């Protein structure tokens, strides 16, 4: 197998879980980062679902994130790991997309997990509805608010703040403080 490129836009930003040979700030066109996936495993339970980020198709949208290059000797193991992690349910679709690097150039055939809008875990909620869920949900990988805060923090560290995530962080903090 050749080197593997993976696009990270959520928890992969701060917890890739695989050996990374190179990172590049990148953008994915016609997709946007959204808490549009009900989480019944990692950040919630079947009885009290949380929310996780997914890429939702939207013509004209842009999602900023990181393109991770995995060296060829680690590509097969990384792909197996990501399939186990990201395809725990069939709500994500494993796709290959083209990303554009912030410093110029582009990369084809980048592994990218996107939401299946026909899946029962797909949801469209207002930011307030998202905040209400994120403030209380907990799943197998921890509290939903930690996922939100870590993602927002890492986007800021990369110089790629997401205004919706920043609003959610502030609103969740307010909800939790009573």
Which positions are annotated as active-site residues? 86
Contacts of 17 (CB under 8 A, 6+ apart): 81, 85
Residue 119, SS3? coil
Contacts of 86 (CB under 8 A, 6+ apart): 92, 94, 113
Distance CA 171, CA 169 (A): 6
β-pairing verdict for 138-139 and 106-115 = unpaired
Distance CA 148, CA 44 (A): 13
């Amino acid at each position: 197998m050749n080197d593997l490129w993976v696009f990270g836009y959520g928890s992969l930003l701060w917890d890739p879980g695989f050996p990374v040979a190179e990172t590049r700030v990148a953008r994915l066109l016609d997709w946007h980062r959204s808490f549009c996936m009900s989480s019944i495993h990692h950040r919630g339970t079947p009885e009290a679902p949380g929310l996780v980020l997914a890429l939702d198709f939207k013509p004209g949208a842009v999602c900023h994130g990181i393109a991770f290059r995995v060296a060829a000797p680690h590509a097969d193991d990384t792909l197996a790991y990501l399939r186990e992690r990201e395809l725990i349910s069939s709500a994500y679709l494993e796709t290959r997309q083209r990303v554009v690097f912030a410093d110029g150039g582009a990369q084809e055939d980048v592994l990218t997990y996107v939401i299946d809008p026909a899946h029962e875990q797909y949801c469209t909620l207002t930011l307030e509805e998202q905040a209400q869920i994120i403030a209380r949900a907990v799943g197998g990988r921890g509290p939903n608010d930690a996922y939100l805060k870590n993602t927002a923090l890492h986007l800021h560290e990369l110089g790629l703040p997401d205004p919706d995530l920043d609003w959610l962080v502030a609103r969740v903090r307010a909800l939790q403080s009573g």
